[in-house]
Structure 1
Amino acid sequence: MAGDYHRGEMDIQEQAATYEAFGKMTKWGSLAVAVLLLFITLLFCTPAGFIGSAIASVVLLGLGVVALKEKPVPAH
């Protein structure tokens, strides 16, 4: 069976798609955890209250979306 393998001839579309999906889930999941952690921390550990916590969380979410969105790849 090992003799059937030829380097560079295998279709890797599924592996590439899985790798890309994992990267995206990690990136956006990390932002979601950061926003939730900020909200909960400000809500329970500071006198900011619900509104202050929500505003700070929305600001972080907005900045995170701008920073993490995919940039267009320049043509060579």
Structure 2
Amino acid sequence: MASDYHRGDMEIQEQVATYHLFVMLAKWGSLALAALLVFLVLVFCTPTGFFGSLIVGAVISVAGWFVLREHEGEAAH
């Protein structure tokens, strides 16, 4: 059984794809959760109001999208 193993011969494309999917979901899920939490805190804990809180949540979402999006050079890594 152990003699069947050859280091470096295993196909790992599925593991790589799963890892990239996990990282992508964690990254975008964290941004969505952060924007939602800021929106909810502003709505319920400050006199900002619904629309003011919505604007701040949207600004955080757009800024996060610019920071977290894939850049041209990163796709090759």
Indicate whether 1:62 and 2:62 are aligned: yes
Name 1:8's counterpart in structure 2.
8
Matched pairs, number: 75
Aligned to 1:72: 72
Q: CA deviation at 1:43?
A: 0.1
Q: Distance in 1 between matches of 2:27 and 2:66?
A: 13
Q: Give 4+ residue runs of structure 1 displaced > 2 Å after superposition.
A: none
CA distances 1:2-56 after superposition (whole Å, capped 9, x unpaired): 1111000000000000000000000000001000000000000000000000000
Q: Which runs of 5+ in 1 are unaligned?
A: none
CA distance in 1, matches of 2:67, 2:15: 26
Name the aligned partner's letter for residue 54 of structure 1.
L
* CA distance, structure 2, for counterparts of residue 22 and residue 66 of structure 1: 20
Match of 1:29 in 2: 29
CA root-mean-square deviation:
1.3
For the residues of structure 2 that align with 1:30 and 1:46, how far apart are their CA atoms?
Answer: 23
Report the TM-score, using the length of structure 1 for normalisation: 0.94
